[in-house]
Structure 1
Amino acid sequence: MGTPGEGLGRCSHALIRGVPESLASGEGAGAGLPALDLAKAQREHGVLGGKLRQRLGLQLLELPPEESLPLGPLLGDTAVIQGDTALITRPWSPARRPEVDGVRKALQDLGLRVVETGDENATLDGTDVLFTGREFFVGLSKWTNHRGAEIVADTFRAMAVLTDHPYASLTLPDDAAADCLFLRPGVPGVPPFLLHRGGGDLPNSQEALQKLSEVTLVPVSCSELEKAGGGLSSLCLVLSTRPHS
């Protein structure tokens, strides 16, 4: 795997944002979410950060929690990153649009080329976008419209395959099994790592993932944060500041 701090494969950094007290009330962004156990949510978030840093060897950057941004920990919704380019999204909910400001600055400070969505007719949620290595799959949903998908294709000069549900093209036993992050190694002889929801959260997915050969599984729980829509891919952004060959 390499030692902590070296970064895993093509990824060198991970970005997360702390859990504010305002998320626990269930009134975050006027969403009418169920109340959370704040201490448990913060503990799960801390474990996630620790595994990104210590187990996967990424340099961890954590934005401070902001009480005015109760859904701020879901910062995976705020950007689509490929290579050295970061597309800043335009969340469907106006209450969530200020979340992009801190993420934009952090990515600029890391030296990424930052592109704005721009079009006021577009809505785009970063976790509706999946890059396979060759093409982008964009799930059209309440949060992402057709114009948002077009901007993804235009920004990365790539084919954007539209689906009526995120990750619909993946052959997984259930939608929950897609709640994982795949980190490809760049070092010969190092197996791929899959950061995924643990068996306690998703037992069926755990059984399916164990069938993958030559992949090291790194389980992590986010069962409390899931109540606020915090799937694993929503809770962090992984990126590289290194030149891509």
Structure 2
Amino acid sequence: MRAAMSELGLKIVEMSDESATLDGGDVLFTVVLPPPSLHSGDYTVSTVPVEERLHLKSFCSMAGPGLIIIGSSEAAQKALKTMQQMSDHRYDKLTVPDDPAANCVYMNLPDRGDVLIHCTSQEFPESVKVFERLKGHMLIPVSNQEKLKVDGGLTCLSVLISKTNRSV
């Protein structure tokens, strides 16, 4: 990853505190606009306590600009309330009955528009019914059965990098 990121000219930040931990599943970018200075690393960061789950993305992800997919468990709803209290921006939300189904991968592709990769109806039939309400999205169901065995989600299999203007 370091070599790929360096080749793309992306800034690499290392954590110097040996006791600190951070995983990609702990980070949720909620605004799809570039920061004021793309390479300066200027992002507003808020801490959201996560109860009963491995990572923040264990029960939520983004489904588009300003649209959060969130699980319906008490822990997921409590985290959403915290996010809403800390932000000036009002996000739309899409609540799914199954927390793990809320771990999706959103992309806006120039030739396809809004694309959402989500778990299959064999895994989470009721949650897929909710995704089908997203009429403006191309929906791509992908089996996540094997990753779920080790508490993994679809975002664990993804590294999305936009090469346009070297943005992430």
Which TM-score bucket, shorter chain as reference?
0.5 to 0.7
Q: Which runs of 5+ in 2 are unaligned?
A: 34-39, 51-55, 61-78, 81-92
Deviation at residue 171 of structure 1 after TM alignment: 4.2
Gaps of 5+ in 1: 1-102, 136-154
1:163 aligns with 2:61: no
Q: Which has the higher contact order (CA 8 A, sep 6+)?
A: 1
1:239 lines up with 2:161 in the alignment? yes
TM-score of the pair, normalised by structure 1: 0.44
1:158 and 1:107 map into 2 onto residues whose CA distance is: 18
**Counterpart code for 1:221:** S
Q: Does 1:175 align with 2:99?
A: yes
The number of equivalent residue pairs is 122
Aligned-partner residue type, residue 218 of structure 1: I
- Could you give the per-residue CA deviations for residues 77-113 of structure 1, whole angstroms, max 9, x where no partner exists? xxxxxxxxxxxxxxxxxxxxxxxxxx22332234322
| Contact 2:8 2:166 (8 Å CA) reproduced | no
1:110–1:241 CA contact under 8 A, matched in 2 = yes
Shift of 1:244: 5.6
1:226 pairs with 2:148: yes
1:49-64 alignment, distance < 5 Å? none
Give runs of aligned pairs for residues 31-180 of structure 1, distance below 5 A: 103-133=1-31, 156-165=41-50, 166=56, 167=60, 168-169=79-80, 171-173=94-96, 174-180=98-104
Moved over 4 A (4+): none
Partner of 1:194: helix, strand, or coil? Answer: strand
Q: What letter is aligned with 2:95?
A: L
Q: Please give the alpha-carbon distance, in whole angstroms, between the structure 2 residues aligned to 1:242 and 1:134.
A: 14
User: Structure 1: which amino acid aligns with 2:106?
Assistant: F
Whether the 8 Å CA contact 2:118–2:142 is kept in 1: the answer is: yes
- Contact 2:9–2:166 under 8 Å retained in 1: no
Instruction: Calculate the TM-score normalised by the size of structure 2.
Output: 0.62
**Could you tell me which amino acid in structure 2 is paired with residue 164 of structure 1?**
P
Letter of the 2:100 partner, please give it.
A
Is 1:211 paired with 2:156?
Answer: no
Q: 1:122 to 1:202 in 2, by over 3 A?
A: same
Larger Rg: 1
Partner SS, residue 139 of structure 2: strand
> In structure 1, how many angstroms separate the alpha carbons of the residues matched to 2:17 and 2:110?
36
8 Å CA contact 2:100–2:153 kept in 1: the answer is no
1:216 to partner: Cα distance: 0.7
Q: Residue 131 of structure 1 aligns to which amino acid in structure 2?
A: F
Q: Residue 28 of structure 2: SS of its match in structure 1? A: strand
Partner of 1:96: none
